[in-house]
Amino acid sequence: MRLNIVTPTKKILINAEIDEVLAPAFRGELGILPGHAPLISTLDTGVLKYKLKGSSEYKKVVISWGYLEVTPSSVNILSETAEEPFEIDLSRASKAITEAEKKLATGDITLVEMEKLQRKVKRARLRKLASEESGAKK
């Protein structure tokens, strides 16, 4: 099975041979193995994990919203954003959390702004966690 992970601005992975994908679908995590039934799903902000063919370790990519397509031979991920742990700037993620939480605490925001800020906090926390778990030093 092959995995493709792309965003509107970059390609993270193209035609990588994999044994497994764990994807943060909108209604919960999806586990995909070779032979999975064809499927299309929306993705939530979260950590996408995959095992390269023959590997026992999961590789991680932090994604922000998107679509997943499973075909008989591939898993295709189109995400708004996608970052591998080594790309994540920890100080920037920490700053994003602090700024968004301050704005949320004011209470002087619309419902749409509140939802946007909550998504921003979730994404920044996931980015920070994935980077820290990988041992990245940015």
Pair (13, 78) in one structural domain: yes
For every residue of 24-40, which 3-state class applies, written as one string?
EECCEEEEECCCCCCEE
pLDDT at residue 102 in the model: 85
Helix, strand and coil percent figures for the chain, each rounded to 5: 30, 45, 25
CATH number of the domain encompassing residue 29: 2.60.15.10
pLDDT at residue 135 in the model: 64
Pair (60, 114) in one structural domain: no
Pair (14, 70) in one structural domain: yes
Secondary structure (DSSP) of 64-109: EEEEEEE-SSEEEEEEEEEE-GGG--HHHHHHHHHHHHHHHHH--S
Pair (69, 12) in one structural domain: yes
Residue 130 lies in domain: 87-134
- Which of 47, 17, 22 minimizes the C-alpha distance to 32? 22
Specify whether the CB–CB gap between 102 and 31 falls below 8 A. no
Pair (91, 79) in one structural domain: no
Distances (CA, A) of 86 to 63, 70, 117, 127: 14, 27, 24, 10
pLDDT at residue 56 in the model: 93
The three-state secondary structure class of 131 is helix
Total of domains in the chain = 2
**Residue appearing with tokens 């023959």:** 54
pLDDT at residue 42 in the model: 96
Please write the tens of the pLDDT for every residue from 47-85. Answer: 999 999 999 999 999 998 899 999 999 999 999 989 887
Phi and psi at residue 49, to the nearest 5° = -120, 145
Task: Check pLDDT > 70 for residue 138.
Answer: no
Please write the tens of the pLDDT for every residue from 75-130. Answer: 999 999 898 878 877 788 778 888 888 888 887 888 888 888 888 878 888 877 87
Pair (28, 95) in one structural domain: no
Phi and psi at residue 8, to the nearest 5° = -60, -20
pLDDT at residue 136 in the model: 54
Pairing of strands 39-43, 74-83: unpaired
pLDDT at residue 90 in the model: 78
